[in-house]
Amino acid sequence: MEETRDSIHDIWGPRTPHQGHWPVRVDERTTEEPDNWVQSACVLCSNCCGMDIGVKNGRIVGVRGRAVDRVNHGRLGPKGLHAWEATHSPDRLTTPLIRRNGKLEPATWDEAMALIVDKSKELLAEGHSSAIGFYTSGQLFIEEYYTLGVLGKAGLGTPHMDGNTRLCTATAGAALKLSFGTDGQAGSYADLDTTEAVLLVGHNMASQQTVLWARILDRLASVNPPQARRD
């Protein structure tokens, strides 16, 4: 196994102080030597670090940060370096489960989909479309959200559609609009390389965005550190 650093015991990695720019540090973790690397990105927090995925015999065998990526300059946090290993976990579900006599049992996809269709038709026949609800992930693409809207609201007629995007991201979007007039980032991560002050309010960056926190730590370790405060 190739591992450039132990991100479990050293979350942010060694310091690479700024030298007028944020130096590159490529973090890598592999369990086997990949046949090839595929360009991708880490989606496990909102930092969106660029990464390469190592592939061997059609399976993920490792990841590494992309040195040329302007967001992370090659770094990856604990989630980015380790979460992919769950793909091969023996506990991972590979078949649908249907509850029979109070116990979850394996079923085929046709059985599972038929059960969903039958139950949905039964509820709709009773005039209870509001008895159907959707709770979705925040990791879908816009086309998938559109399809869900067509199925849930136009097709089934349920008003109960919710997900991670409202409980998490929408609150941040609303706060950004109130504060800066836009629900997108008002600045750039690169601003941290030159700013004279860093103020964090209501956000534990050290825990939730470990690579971005490493960027601040590296700036604080430079010869021209900013003033820093967290409230």
The residue-averaged pLDDT of 146-156 equals: 91
The confidence score (pLDDT) of residue 59 equals 94
For 114-131, what is each residue's pLDDT tens digit? Answer: 999 999 999 989 888 889
Output the pTM of the full model. Answer: 0.78
Q: Indicate if 110 and 41 belong to the same structural domain.
A: no
How is the beta sheet containing 28-30 ordered, strand by strand?
Answer: 2-3, 28-30, 59-65, 50-56, 36-41
pLDDT at 175: 84
Task: Tell which residue, 142, 122, 140, has the closest CA to residue 132.
Answer: 122
pLDDT for 228 equals: 67
Count of the separate structural domains present in the chain:
3
pLDDT for 184 beyond 90: no
Are 97 and 155 members of one domain? no
Q: How far is CA 105 from CA 87, 97, 109, 136, 168, in A?
A: 22, 5, 13, 24, 33
Q: Within this chain, do residues 4 and 82 fall inside the same structural domain, yes or no?
A: yes
Given a cut of 70, whether residue 230 has pLDDT beyond it is no
State whether 171 and 213 are in the same domain: no
Examine the domain organization and report whether 50 and 2 are in the same domain: yes
Select, from the ranges 88-92, 117-121, 172-176, the one with the highest average predicted confidence (pLDDT).
117-121
Q: Which class for 48: exposed (0-12), middle (13-18), buried (19 or more C-beta within 10 A)?
A: middle
pLDDT at 132: 92
- 18 and 81 share one domain: yes
Structure tokens at 165: 């995007």
How high is the pLDDT of residue 46? 79
59 and 82 share one domain: yes
Residues 174 and 207 in one domain: no
25 and 67 belong to one structural domain: yes
Q: Is the model more confident about 71 or about 1?
A: 71
How far from the centroid of its chain's Cα atoms is residue 194's Cα? 27
Residues 163 and 97 in one domain: no
Within 10 Å of residue 17's Cβ, how many Cβ atoms?
15
CATH number at residue 192: 2.20.25.90
User: Which domain range does residue 102 map to?
Assistant: 93-127
Domain match, 80 and 164 both: no
